[in-house]
Structure 1
Amino acid sequence: MLITVTAFAHHKGGTGKTTTCLQAAGFLVKSGRRVLVIDTDPQANATLGLGIHPDTPAHNIYHYYSSQSSPDAEPIPLANLIIRTISNIDLIPSHLDLVGAEPLLYQNPDRYEILARDIVSLKERYDHILIDTPPFLGQFLLNGLIAADRTVIVFSPDSFALNGYENIRMILTDIEEILNKKIQIRMAVLNRWSLPVPEESFVSKFSARFKRQTGKPEQADEIKQILEEQMKREVGTVIQVPDSLQVGLSNRRGMPLAFSNPDDPAAKAFEQVAQTLDQG
């Protein structure tokens, strides 16, 4: 099969980007694929979500980036950072120290392609390499996008979703114009968006009252419809993931839903994400 590198991206936090990355990784491994997750977010949520405390590994992605940017340091290969997790997903872990590596990257004239250059050496070992990028614009996000063959954008159900996509488009346009790198968006995931709100819930009652007072449709539903239609036109593949308490439990346990609760409705959606990635 064609070995692919996929970045999961959004410059806003809380969209479920890391969760989508980890849950897709779980289903890919369950289907027999060899999978590596590279955590390039200083918050290290992907590391924690795979059951690894960031302080445990002797080396992490911080050591890789800092060694690539100091003329006096011996470069650390990415392969030296790989650890096996309890779900058989391989991981290159992150750490809060990564924040301190970003200023160092400005000493490297090839700073945008550090990850892209070295990730090539890992492709023979894996069927899928998934990059969890940080939720802010910076060197690590740019490195992840440029290193990837394709990108998955994850949206959360809030009033900033549409504006967020416009910002992403501007970032990708800048990358293409300044660095001459084409970023391919493979899929859009609408996270926690597809389950209807129970009629007796506070949110439902508040929404109904808001409609009566203003005569306006519920904002979240309108945003979802506009965003979904736009994603289908411009990206093609759009997958909705329902909200589920099992997702949070899965992340805290360090075990993806593919192994802990594969019949959960959210798990079925994440399995569809994995299957779509596996189709190329």
Structure 2
Amino acid sequence: MATVFAIANQKGGVGKSTTAVNLSACIAEQGYSVLVIDIDPQGNATSGLGVEKDKMQNSIYQVMLGECSISDCILHLRYKKHEDMKTFDLVPSDVNLSAVEVELVNQEDKEYLLKKRLEPIKDKYDYIIIDCPPSLNLLTINALTTADSVLIPIQCEFYALEGLAQLLYTIQLVHERLNSRLFVEGVIFTMYDSHTKLSRQVVDDVKENLNQYIFKTVIPRNVRLAEAPSYGLPVNIYDKKSEGAKSYKKLAKEIIKRRKALWQPGEA
């Protein structure tokens, strides 16, 4: 049975899709089968993984409306020089998804639609990573009811904690009312600049104010990491020697080790 992560933060521009793309690719590179589900209407994870949104037959939009099965929507990702990468798949998104909340307004149990659609294929993967939209809407709630835990990217900028309390409150409500197994896996610092006092101060402030697990790996500001999406490649394939690639590889290993420690304490 897959471990399902929702990558969520209602604040935009925090590296959410960047983390979804690169973390999933680095976990797949470790030999695990991975499915990325892009549930953000902007479709940044979709394009960041090299999929042209205007050429798709089906997307998560059709899946949510029940117009196709999730199996009909899965794209198998393959990259040159990484043909040996174990199963690395994507359920893509496009702008049509922005209308789904209105179209599902009278749907019963609409908070559980993604969970139900995912059930038939859940056993085929080791990890499923859901890229959420930058808002606390029905799509994000669906991701949270489906997930085992939440990864929260936080940008090392002045307004890092803005809106975070509301996100944590929403996660707590979902845990209490919709998904009792949901918890916060941890906080990931992104866009870290070791040369600035501000980045160091943000890290200290978050550690002081959040009673959550904080990953030791921090993701730096990195030119190659910023360039990779324009080529439709995860950074570990675009430039495996870059600091961005090294950081996401390190984060992938930390998360895998943490999961083993959580569920198999004697084996981590």
Common fold by TM > 0.5: yes
Tell me the equivalent position of 1:227: 206
| AA at the equivalent of 1:17 | K
Partner-residue secondary structure (3-state), 1:239: coil
Question: Given the alignment of the two structures, is residue 264 of structure 1 paired with residue 242 of structure 2, yes or no?
Answer: yes
**1:181-234 Cα shifts (integer Å, max 9, x gaps):** 45311121110114314xxxxxxxxxxxxxxxxxxxx65543321113444x42
What is the rounded CA distance, in whole Å, between the counterparts of 1:194 and 1:167 in structure 2?
26
Partner-residue secondary structure (3-state), 1:255: coil
The residue correspondences of 1:161-172 to structure 2 (distance < 5 A) are: 161-172=160-171
Contact kept, 8 Å, 2:219 with 2:244, in 1: the verdict is: yes
Contact kept, 8 Å, 1:157 with 1:224, in 2: the verdict is: yes
Contact kept, 8 Å, 2:136 with 2:167, in 1: the verdict is: no
Tell me the equivalent position of 1:188: 187
User: How much has 1:161 moved relative to structure 2?
Assistant: 1.4
Tell me the equivalent position of 1:147: 146
User: How much has 1:106 moved relative to structure 2?
Assistant: 2.0
| AA at the equivalent of 1:224 | V
**1:227-261 Cα shifts (integer Å, max 9, x gaps):** 13444x42243431111010121111111122222
Structure 1 range deviating more: 157-166 or 246-255? 157-166
Cα gap change, 1:262 to 1:181, in 2 (>3 Å): same
Tell me the equivalent position of 2:11: 12
Contact kept, 8 Å, 2:40 with 2:131, in 1: the verdict is: yes
What is the rounded CA distance, in whole Å, between the counterparts of 2:133 and 2:15 in structure 1?
12
What is the rounded CA distance, in whole Å, between the counterparts of 1:219 and 1:137 in structure 2?
28
Partner-residue secondary structure (3-state), 2:40: coil
Larger CA Rg, structure 1 vs 2: 1
Any gaps of 5 or more consecutive residues in structure 2?
80-84, 260-268
Any gaps of 5 or more consecutive residues in structure 1?
68-74, 198-217
Structure 1 range deviating more: 12-21 or 176-185? 176-185
What is the rounded CA distance, in whole Å, between the counterparts of 1:237 and 1:221 in structure 2?
15
Tell me the equivalent position of 1:48: 47
Q: What RMSD, in angstroms, separates the aligned Cα atoms of the two structures?
A: 1.9
Tell me the equivalent position of 1:90: 89
Contact kept, 8 Å, 1:27 with 1:274, in 2: the verdict is: yes
Contact kept, 8 Å, 1:9 with 1:153, in 2: the verdict is: yes
Cα gap change, 1:10 to 1:145, in 2 (>3 Å): same
What is the rounded CA distance, in whole Å, between the counterparts of 1:249 and 1:36 in structure 2?
23
Tell me the equivalent position of 1:37: 36
Partner-residue secondary structure (3-state), 2:54: coil
**1:43-63 Cα shifts (integer Å, max 9, x gaps):** 000010011111111111111
| AA at the equivalent of 2:68 | I
Contact kept, 8 Å, 1:228 with 1:238, in 2: the verdict is: no
User: How much has 1:7 moved relative to structure 2?
Assistant: 0.9
What is the rounded CA distance, in whole Å, between the counterparts of 1:124 and 1:176 in structure 2?
23
Structure 1 range deviating more: 43-52 or 104-113? 104-113
| AA at the equivalent of 1:155 | I
| AA at the equivalent of 1:223 | V
User: How much has 1:85 moved relative to structure 2?
Assistant: 2.3
Question: Given the alignment of the two structures, is residue 81 of structure 1 paired with residue 80 of structure 2, yes or no?
Answer: no
Contact kept, 8 Å, 1:51 with 1:86, in 2: the verdict is: no
User: How much has 1:86 moved relative to structure 2?
Assistant: 3.2
Partner-residue secondary structure (3-state), 1:55: helix
What is the rounded CA distance, in whole Å, between the counterparts of 1:145 and 1:39 in structure 2?
13
Specify which of 232, 239, 245 is matched with residue 254 of structure 1. 232
Specify which of 232, 253, 268 is matched with residue 275 of structure 1. 253
Cα gap change, 1:195 to 1:221, in 2 (>3 Å): closer
Tell me the equivalent position of 1:59: 58
Contact kept, 8 Å, 2:156 with 2:191, in 1: the verdict is: yes
Tell me the equivalent position of 1:134: 133
Between the aligned residues of both structures, percent identity stands at 26
User: How much has 1:277 moved relative to structure 2?
Assistant: 2.8
